[in-house]
Amino acid sequence: MVRQLATCRWVLEHQSITVTGPTGVGKTYVACALAQHACRRGFSAMYRRVCRLFDELTLARADGSYARLLGKLARTDVLVIDDWGLTASREAERQDLLEILEDRYGSRSTIMSVASLLSAQ
């Protein structure tokens, strides 16, 4: 699977990747490695931890730059959203995530790092 992802065909085909597992197994490492490899292939990439992304969106909504931030997120070839699922999300955060993912669907690639609630064995 990793060799196939290393071709970056998933970026060209605007596919998304979900990396799941318990805390500490290397989800962030894998997500960032894939994004960095895409950068080396000439694609743009952006990394955001989900809690900071939501803070950034809240501030952008308050200062009037929300649409501009959504546009920036929509134009990035590979967006890494890290640590989804560590804490419960509020309704506004779920709506923001839906907006981001809808804007990117079929036109850009997203890597979601999703924490599972199972403990590492």
pLDDT of residue 119: 44
pTM of the full structure: 0.89
Nearest to 15 by CA among 32, 36, 33, 38: 38
pLDDT at residue 121 greater than cutoff 60: no
60 touches 66 (CB < 8 A): yes
pLDDT at residue 27 greater than cutoff 90: yes
* Mean of pLDDT values over 85-98: 88
* Mean of pLDDT values over 24-31: 94
Question: What is the distance of C-alpha 107 from the center of its chain?
Answer: 14
pLDDT at residue 118 greater than cutoff 90: no
User: pLDDT over 90 for what percent of the chain?
Assistant: 82
Whole-number CA gyration radius for the chain: 14
Task: Write the CA distances from 107 to 15, 20, 75, 81, 82, integer angstroms.
Answer: 9, 23, 9, 17, 20
Which homologous superfamily does the CATH classification assign to the domain defined by 15-111? P-loop containing nucleotide triphosphate hydrolases (3.40.50.300)
8 touches 43 (CB < 8 A): yes
